[in-house]
Amino acid sequence: MRKQLEQLRREAGEALDKIKSLIDLEKAEIKLLGRKDGKLNAMLKSLKNLSEKEKKQFGKLANEIKNEITALIAEKRLDLEKKETLKAVEEDWIDVTLPGIKPKQGSLHPVSIVQYELEDLFRSLGFMILDGPELESDYYNFEALNIPSHHPARDTQDTFYIKGKIQKSKACPERNRGIKSKENQERLLLRTHTSPVQVRAMQEFGAPLRAIAPGRVFRYEASDASHENTFCQLEGLMVEKNISICNLIAVMKTLLKGIFKRDVKIRLRPGYFPFVEPGFELDIECLICGGRGCSVCKQSGWVELLPCGLVHPNVLRAGHIDPEKFSGFAFGLGLTRLVMMRYGINDIRLFNAGDLRFLEQFGAI
């Protein structure tokens, strides 16, 4: 028995010496001192077959060995815990002096850049910035703008019609402005211009009123260098007492100067829109070719940019404003075309193509 106990003492010392991880130490502890299958316990169990004297003698030795092994395991555990903590710290170590990884920064779309500039400009002139639905009712897109269903002006703005009716928004009641009767909830279409916001704004805010409404519009037409089926406009509306063409021209001049920061050549010619009377087309000299003629201006040297006019009395009435008391002017800036002129972009199709090589050229946010 003594021999066996001494051998266990040696073996335990050698085995613990070789152990390199806490998991292995756990296993060795069970193997040596475990209650069920531990080697020492097995030996203690066999003590019962010995004489009283031997039991006393070897029982004492076995206890000594148990205490020794327990102390060795505790020492080893401390040592391994220290080493493993050090290793974890080493693995997690970072060099805080290394340069960081630069996050990829997006940039604003060129139309957004110019739109925000115009919003600032108009805000400084006391205009509100409004929004309108892109999925619009036939009523606001045409009827309320003095374009009844039989009117030939509808042919110039063909669009996509959608089944269904405008659902009232519970989350944002502001968006429900103008949805009043069953009639104007039905016959939905993708709005062909931002002009529907004129009547929506008049109905909501009354007169006097100064507002702009930038946004996307849609037309069912073939695209070329200066025509898209989806593009942006910026509507402007001013309704006050005694508004005249002088007010309109003054604001148009401020707008062009603000955006181009220099004088650009313009021409004003009569234009027909059922919702203004009189109506004008304000063109600017094509800044892509300097007026010599190119695919953007269709060789004319001029680009149609800013149709405008005095608000038609029928439109004021649709907006619940008395045309005997108030008058107003409105304009419908071709925002995407203005951006083309501003940056010298020679093809409108680049704006919606989603090509980052094009989009990244316009300054970070």
CB of 299 vs ligand FA5, minimal distance in Å:
17
> Looking at beta carbons only, is 8 or 209 nearer to ligand FA5?
209
Task: Give the one residue of 201, 212, 276, 315 binding ligand FA5; rule: CB under 6 A.
Answer: 276
Task: Give the one residue of 204, 221, 285, 347 binding ligand FA5; rule: CB under 6 A.
Answer: 221
CB of 165 vs ligand FA5, minimal distance in Å:
24
- Using CA atoms, how far residue 192 sits from 3, 153, 195, 228, 293, in Å, is 102, 12, 9, 12, 28
Residue with tokens 């002139």: 125
**Under the criterion CB under 6 A, does residue 309 sit at the interface with ligand FA5?**
yes
Order across the sheet with 161-162: list the strands: 135-137, 188-190, 161-162
Task: Give the one residue of 190, 334, 341, 351 binding ligand FA5; rule: CB under 6 A.
Answer: 334
CB of 195 vs ligand FA5, minimal distance in Å:
4
266-270 and 276-285 strand pairing = antiparallel
Binding range to ligand FA5, per CB under 6 A, among 161-169, 239-247, 272-280, 288-296? 272-280
CB of 199 vs ligand FA5, minimal distance in Å:
12
The H or E element that residue 219 is part of is none
**Under the criterion CB under 6 A, does residue 136 sit at the interface with ligand FA5?**
no
Torsions phi, psi of 55, nearest 5? Answer: -55, -45
Binding range to ligand FA5, per CB under 6 A, among 39-47, 208-216, 299-307, 317-325? 299-307
Q: Cα separation of 69 and 62, whole Å?
A: 11
Task: Give the one residue of 32, 308, 318, 345 binding ligand FA5; rule: CB under 6 A.
Answer: 308
Q: Cα separation of 263 and 284, whole Å?
A: 11
The partner residues of 299 in beta bridges, in order of sequence, read none
Binding range to ligand FA5, per CB under 6 A, among 6-14, 92-100, 175-183, 328-336? 328-336
> Looking at beta carbons only, is 28 or 252 nearer to ligand FA5?
252
Binders of ligand FA5 in range 144-203 (CB under 6 A): 193, 195
Burial annotation 305-339 (CB, 10 A radius, 16+ → b, else e): bbbbbbbbbebbebbebebeebbbbbbbbbbbbbb
Write out the E strands in 50-208.
128-129, 135-137, 161-162, 188-190
CB of 170 vs ligand FA5, minimal distance in Å:
31
Binders of ligand FA5 in range 33-92 (CB under 6 A): none
Binders of ligand FA5 in range 231-260 (CB under 6 A): 231, 233
> Looking at beta carbons only, is 184 or 194 nearer to ligand FA5?
194
Burial degree of 198 (CB within 10 A; 0-12, 13-18, 19+): buried
Q: Please, what's the largest Cα pairwise distance for the chain?
A: 129
CB of 134 vs ligand FA5, minimal distance in Å:
14
Binding range to ligand FA5, per CB under 6 A, among 33-41, 112-120, 260-268, 271-279? 271-279
> Looking at beta carbons only, is 65 or 238 nearer to ligand FA5?
238
Q: Cα separation of 169 and 263, whole Å?
A: 45
Binding residues for ligand FA5, rule: CB under 6 A, are: 193, 195, 219, 221, 227-228, 231, 233, 273, 276, 279, 304-305, 307-309, 330-332, 334, 336-337, 348
